[in-house]
Amino acid sequence: MRRIVVSAACILMFSASPVRADFYRYVDGDGKEFFTNDVKQIPPQYRSSATPLKTDDGRVSVGDKPAAPGKSTGTVKEHKDKYGRGERYWRGRADKLRMKLRDQQDDYDLVLKQLDDPDQKTINGKKKSRAGLIKKKQKIEKDMAKTRRKLEVYLPEEARRADAYPGWIRE
């Protein structure tokens, strides 16, 4: 009896076929793209427009087995945006804005320190009035807001339109 149970378990275990999950893509009303492997998770109003995604088993390898024969497993081509710009370009733009924001923050901290310290009346040998410092503080705040907006809104939008990966502009 025990042999029969063990044999049946072995037969079931080795005869199981690989399970394959279908993935679906849909775009909501705001233009955001979503991916799921469960049709029930797609909101009813977008189910008719959801498209199944084709998977490529040729790029998959498990354990010591190589990818499917006949498929090239060479280097992966670097992704470029619509205009031929790659990750280096987008990271450089984001880093430049972050550096500018850090410099502005340093200037802002210095002005705050000067406003708090009544004994420090000179900057590089020149006298600064309290009104001048307040004016400078307001200008720096305005510039920081502009730079932050460029970094958090305009650059990601430009990257999205150019088909660049969002991770390229993240820190």
What is the predicted pLDDT for the residue at 4?
83
Q: What are phi and psi of 129, to 5 degrees?
A: -80, 160
What is the predicted pLDDT for the residue at 69?
58
Is 59 within 8 Å of 71 (Cβ atoms)?
yes
Please determine, for residue 138, whether its predicted confidence score (pLDDT) is greater than 90: yes
Please determine, for residue 79, whether its predicted confidence score (pLDDT) is greater than 80: yes
58/156 Cα distance (integer angstroms): 33
What is the predicted pLDDT for the residue at 52?
85
Please determine, for residue 67, whether its predicted confidence score (pLDDT) is greater than 80: no
pTM of the model: 0.52
Of residues 102 and 40, more confidence is placed in: 102
Mean of pLDDT values over 92-99: 96
What is the predicted pLDDT for the residue at 58?
64
Mean of pLDDT values over 98-106: 97
Structural domain boundaries in the chain: 21-53, 87-169
Please determine, for residue 68, whether its predicted confidence score (pLDDT) is greater than 80: no
Distances (CA, A) of 37 to 103, 113, 130: 45, 55, 62
What is the predicted pLDDT for the residue at 148?
96
Of residues 10 and 52, more confidence is placed in: 52
Please determine, for residue 33, whether its predicted confidence score (pLDDT) is greater than 70: yes
156/171 Cα distance (integer angstroms): 12
CB atoms within 10 A of CB 132: 13
Q: What are phi and psi of 63, to 5 degrees?
A: 60, -130
What is the predicted pLDDT for the residue at 23?
80
Q: Please, which pLDDT band fits residue 154 given cuts at 50, 70 and 90?
A: very high
Please determine, for residue 135, whether its predicted confidence score (pLDDT) is greater than 70: yes
Q: What is the dihedral of CA 139, 145, 151, 157, to 10 degrees?
A: -120
